[in-house]
A and B are shown apart, each in its own frame.
Chain A
Amino acid sequence: MSETDPAALGGQPFANETGGEQLLATGVLKEFCGFLMNRPSYLVGYLIVALVALSGLVAPLLPLASPVDADAGAYLVPPSWAHPMGTDSAGLDVFSRVLFAPRVDLAIALVSTCWAACFGSVAGAFVGLWEERGGIKSGAATLILRMADVIQAFPVFALALVLVAVLGQGMTSIIIAIGIVNLPLYLRLMRGEVLRIRDQSYVEAAHIAGAGDIYLLTRHIVPNAAPPLLAQMSINTGVAVLLAAGLSFIGAGVRAPTPEWGSMIAMGFQNVVTGQWWPSMFPGLALALTVFGLGRIGASILAWTNPRERSRPTRRAWKAFSEGRN
């Protein structure tokens, strides 16, 4: 580390050497795994999401019926060996479509969340840093915040519908729409974190030493603001899955017959009242489980980043401790 490196003055909490980072990362990963193993209610979320992702990945390799080709003779067939989850009103195999759907649903959710998080947090970081600087920077920060207010003032679905109507139906439009809807969340979250961190002594020290805005953000502020952002991202991915499914349900989602849980529910819900529950029930269950799993992942990250929660003994540890004392 050179003497002119402002980080030397700042007391940065993360190691800087590459090897040290690797060691630290391995240690953190190990500790996190242990944390999860001791908390099955969080672990189950990872297992569900892994299973759903895996089903999307291996579905094309399995000997399944085509998820997009209709069998005209198999109209609303109830679950059977030939069709484990039955068929829908177009003669499409529900089981095959439920397994293929994560390829679309998770892709939409992950990409839209990632781009919203990237742009939202970058904007939020600058807004937080510039807010009280005065001049053009302060004006720009206020303008960005007001724009976020405008986006947030619209009902989420109305905004998403307008965007899909303007951009046209398709995956790209949905990704952009959901991203824009979520962008202000990350902006505000990052701004809040920056406001908290920017007054820390190590940041002030770096600033006094002549560090520029970008250097301050990338080396000191963003790395320390990341954990709540990651937690928000995993929760938001679940919300994005729901939003994508909701858009498909109202006809503004992916094009038929693309396997996607929301459109499957929309196509099948009319049959529920006449007793054909399977075309919408199975995708509904898959959707609910996935959102639940993503929610548990988000909760686990929040718990992990909270020192009190992280160090709280698990029920198993309490039991072992009590038995040891007796």
Chain B
Amino acid sequence: MQNTANGTIPLSRRTLLKYGAAASAFTFAPGFVNASFGQDRSKTLVIAAPATPLSLDVENSLSPGTIDTVAAFYDYLIGFGTIPDTVDGVMREDLEPRPDLPGGYNLKGMLAESWAFAEDGKSVVFTLRQGVLSNWGNELTAEDVKYTFDRKFEVKGAGAFMTSVMGLPDKDAVKVESKYVVSFTLKDPNPILMIVCGHLANPIFDSTKCKEMATTDDPWARNFLDTNVAGFGPYALKDITRGQQMVATARSDYYGEKPYFETVVFREVPISATRLQLLQGGAVDIAQNLAPTEMKSLENSTDATVTSIEASQMLWIELNTAFAPLDNIKVRQALNYAMPKDEVVKTIMQGFGKKMTTFMPDFYPGATAEFYDYDYDIDKAKALLAEAGHADGFTSTLAYNAGIPFEETIAIMYQTALKKIGVTIELKKLPAGTFFDSLVKRSEPMTFNLDAPFTPDPGFSLNLYFHSGSFLDFSNYKNEEVDALIKTSLSTLVEEDRFAATTAAQKIINEEAPWTLIANPGFQLAHGKDIGGIVYYTSNRLNFQDYKRV
């Protein structure tokens, strides 16, 4: 018999295991969240994600965690109106061009109450809502908008790209007209100015708080905004511990509709199998980034489900034209014919998503698959290689991201397919950081890419990936005619002319094949069956304020 007379618990291997197991179970039990935050569980949304945000400042990072959380803390000048999706109970942004409306789309005002364009399309005036408070209690004014865009020019992060696509030449282009009125003056008419204003990377900052937190060494409060927020969104940041979790609480003084969930716990759970188990056990409401087989396993679940939506995500291989023989169009076409796209979607992606047939998301206005002809055809691939003078094949390297498990399996499948046409590729698995470094430096002949143009416009999408001056032109693709067509599409307000230019550009790009097309993986949200109110955004993000328990 063990002696417990002195009140201490006798420590043996058995007791240690027993108490350890109890502690672990308690940690992940649904009640744990209530106990931790003193909140009603029904009003608390718990999300298991691969990582907490790297930064809460969009100028510093657009990591997946940042993308998923930033729209909870910040509001934008405008946003898209929504329409029902083909999936029951799901809404999505209305991307249909509406030339009859100011801004050319079905837009809804967020921080901007109204907006008016000049006749020549070279300036727009926003009138802001009055009485809108930030999470620090400061009222929204035109100064906040001015500060936000001044910061983009000064910090030179992601904002530098944004000001360039918006056509803002310098800081003076954004002018405070009165306390609640701000104007943007452009060099040339810009058909996508309004929808870029709603881009995830263009939130409006609370300038009063930011100026308060600025220092001589850090005049734009980068350090403060890296780990804190100063915005006009529906949630305030309660706590963030990187590598563990982030907690957000709904603001009672938010100007718009109050979110259903009063507390959001965004917890880091790096292993997808664990995220799946937590969802199945009801400990979390949403499990992010599950593997396709894991999502498939939820088909028979009574408590959880997967909502699969057509999305802007694209998966492809960059064919770096700076490396021979990838500088040869016929070689690039051959590599496209050798990709078993249907098999990849059917097996590795378990039927989630679809094969990729366009060089931009195919549901974006102006996207066309009429020039696509790259279904799996080994004979055609061999013939093209022979025409290119590489009948005996060649050797190259394909780099992929170790953080995305299905890239490795697709790479192996592709390697086997390429052997059939005599092409030998060496697979190079790179840790996420090194991978993105090599992608940006364009140091590998072939590199996987999984990305999406957040702004649903053909000119914006083509400019992002195929304009020779774009920093995202990772395939080093250069065609002066394509550059000119993209420029036309981004500088004319006549819709027919814009789409004619982007169609012509797509025809050339399709012919010259700077990418090996693979798949549109779609947007999959694995969630408890009691979670509703899902809205799809082209930035492929979560939006806590939309969700509710049904």
- Which residues of chain A have a CB within 8 Å of any CB of chain B? 68-73, 75-76, 88-92, 169, 251, 255-257, 267, 269-276
Q: Are B416 and A274 in contact (CB under 8 A)?
A: no
Indicate whether B409 reaches chain A with its CB closer than 8 angstroms: yes
Indicate whether B241 reaches chain A with its CB closer than 8 angstroms: no
Q: Are B293 and A256 in contact (CB under 8 A)?
A: no
Select one of A169, A256, A270 contacting B412, CB under 8 A.
A256
Of the listed stretches B83-91, B107-115, B269-277, chain A binds B269-277
Cβ-Cβ contact count across A and B, 8 Å cutoff: 78
Q: Are B411 and A256 in contact (CB under 8 A)?
A: yes
Interfacial chain B residues near A73, Cβ < 8 Å:
343, 347
Q: Are A70 and B412 in contact (CB under 8 A)?
A: yes
Q: Are A92 and B343 in contact (CB under 8 A)?
A: no
Indicate whether B390 reaches chain A with its CB closer than 8 angstroms: no
Q: Are B411 and A274 in contact (CB under 8 A)?
A: no
Cα distance A322–B205 in the bound complex, in angstroms: 91
Q: Are A276 and B293 in contact (CB under 8 A)?
A: yes
Select one of B276, B348, B431 contacting A89, CB under 8 A.
B348
Interfacial chain B residues near A89, Cβ < 8 Å:
293, 348, 406, 409
Q: Are B276 and A251 in contact (CB under 8 A)?
A: no
Q: Are B276 and A257 in contact (CB under 8 A)?
A: no
Nearest chain A CB to B395 CB, angstrom units: 14
Cα distance A275–B300 in the bound complex, in angstroms: 14
Contact status of A69 and B416, CB under 8 A, knowing A89-B293, A169-B429 = yes
Cα distance A269–B411 in the bound complex, in angstroms: 18
Nearest chain A CB to B201 CB, angstrom units: 30
Contact status of A273 and B412, CB under 8 A, knowing A255-B426, A255-B428 = no
Indicate whether B296 reaches chain A with its CB closer than 8 angstroms: yes
Indicate whether B408 reaches chain A with its CB closer than 8 angstroms: yes
Nearest chain A CB to B351 CB, angstrom units: 11
Interfacial chain B residues near A92, Cβ < 8 Å:
412
Extra contacts besides A72-B413, A251-B429, A270-B294 (7): CB < 8 Å: A69-B416, A72-B343, A72-B347, A169-B428, A272-B273, A273-B277, A274-B294
Q: Are B405 and A70 in contact (CB under 8 A)?
A: no
Interfacial chain B residues near A169, Cβ < 8 Å:
428-429
Cα distance A270–B293 in the bound complex, in angstroms: 9
Looking at chain A's contact residues, the main secondary structure is loop
Indicate whether B297 reaches chain A with its CB closer than 8 angstroms: yes
Interfacial chain B residues near A68, Cβ < 8 Å:
416
Q: Are A273 and B429 in contact (CB under 8 A)?
A: no
Select one of B293, B406, B409, B417 contacting A274, CB under 8 A.
B293
**Chain A residue with Cβ nearest B343:** A72
Interface residues of B in 422-477 (CB under 8 A from A): 426-429, 431
- Which residues of chain B have a CB within 8 Å of any CB of chain A? 272-273, 276-277, 291, 293-294, 296-297, 340, 343-344, 346-348, 402, 405-406, 408-409, 411-413, 415-417, 419, 426-429, 431
Nearest chain A CB to B288 CB, angstrom units: 15
Select one of A69, A75, A255 contacting B429, CB under 8 A.
A255
- Residue among A70, A267, A272, A275 with the highest chain B CB neighbour number at 10 A: A70
**Chain A residue with Cβ nearest B431:** A251
Nearest chain A CB to B419 CB, angstrom units: 7
Contact status of A270 and B426, CB under 8 A, knowing A90-B409, A91-B413, A257-B415 = no
Cα distance A311–B77 in the bound complex, in angstroms: 88
Select one of B272, B343, B413, B431 contacting A270, CB under 8 A.
B272
**Chain B residue with Cβ nearest A76:** B293
Contact status of A90 and B413, CB under 8 A, knowing A270-B272, A270-B273 = yes
Nearest chain A CB to B287 CB, angstrom units: 12
Contact status of A257 and B412, CB under 8 A, knowing A69-B419, A273-B276 = yes
Nearest chain B CB to A39 CB, angstrom units: 31
**Chain B residue with Cβ nearest A273:** B273
Q: Are A91 and B296 in contact (CB under 8 A)?
A: no
Cα distance A138–B109 in the bound complex, in angstroms: 80
Cα distance A241–B291 in the bound complex, in angstroms: 29
Interfacial chain B residues near A269, Cβ < 8 Å:
273
Can you list 28 A-B contacts with CB-CB less than 8 angstroms, sorted by A residue number?
Answer: A69-B419, A70-B412, A72-B417, A76-B347, A88-B409, A89-B348, A89-B406, A89-B409, A91-B347, A251-B402, A251-B429, A251-B431, A255-B428, A255-B429, A256-B408, A256-B412, A256-B427, A267-B405, A267-B408, A269-B273, A272-B273, A273-B276, A273-B277, A273-B297, A274-B293, A274-B296, A275-B297, A276-B293
- Residue among B294, B429, B431 with the highest chain A CB neighbour number at 10 A: B429
Cα distance A89–B408 in the bound complex, in angstroms: 10
Q: Are B429 and A256 in contact (CB under 8 A)?
A: yes
- Residue among B293, B405, B415 with the highest chain A CB neighbour number at 10 A: B293
**Chain A residue with Cβ nearest B277:** A273
**Chain A residue with Cβ nearest B400:** A256
Cα distance A89–B406 in the bound complex, in angstroms: 9
The 4 closest A-B pairs by CB, nearest first: A75-B347, A72-B343, A273-B273, A90-B412
Q: Are B427 and A257 in contact (CB under 8 A)?
A: yes
Cα distance A92–B427 in the bound complex, in angstroms: 16
Cα distance A271–B406 in the bound complex, in angstroms: 12
Nearest chain A CB to B1 CB, angstrom units: 37
Cα distance A42–B307 in the bound complex, in angstroms: 56
Interfacial chain B residues near A273, Cβ < 8 Å:
273, 276-277, 294, 297
Cα distance A88–B415 in the bound complex, in angstroms: 16
Cα distance A92–B409 in the bound complex, in angstroms: 10
Contact status of A70 and B413, CB under 8 A, knowing A76-B293, A270-B291 = yes
Interfacial chain B residues near A274, Cβ < 8 Å:
276, 291, 293-294, 296-297
Cα distance A270–B416 in the bound complex, in angstroms: 23
Interfacial chain B residues near A70, Cβ < 8 Å:
412-413, 415-416
- Residue among B346, B402, B413, B419 with the highest chain A CB neighbour number at 10 A: B413
**Chain B residue with Cβ nearest A74:** B347
Interfacial chain A residues near B340, Cβ < 8 Å:
72
Interfacial chain A residues near B293, Cβ < 8 Å:
76, 89, 270-271, 274, 276
Interfacial chain B residues near A256, Cβ < 8 Å:
408, 411-412, 427, 429
**Chain B residue with Cβ nearest A161:** B431
Nearest chain B CB to A170 CB, angstrom units: 10
- Residue among B296, B344, B409 with the highest chain A CB neighbour number at 10 A: B409
Cα distance A270–B342 in the bound complex, in angstroms: 23
- Residue among A251, A273, A275, A276 with the highest chain B CB neighbour number at 10 A: A273
Cα distance A76–B428 in the bound complex, in angstroms: 23
Cα distance A271–B347 in the bound complex, in angstroms: 13
Cα distance A76–B413 in the bound complex, in angstroms: 13
Nearest chain A CB to B186 CB, angstrom units: 47
Nearest chain B CB to A93 CB, angstrom units: 12
Interfacial chain A residues near B343, Cβ < 8 Å:
72-73
**Chain A residue with Cβ nearest B298:** A274
Cα distance A257–B426 in the bound complex, in angstroms: 9
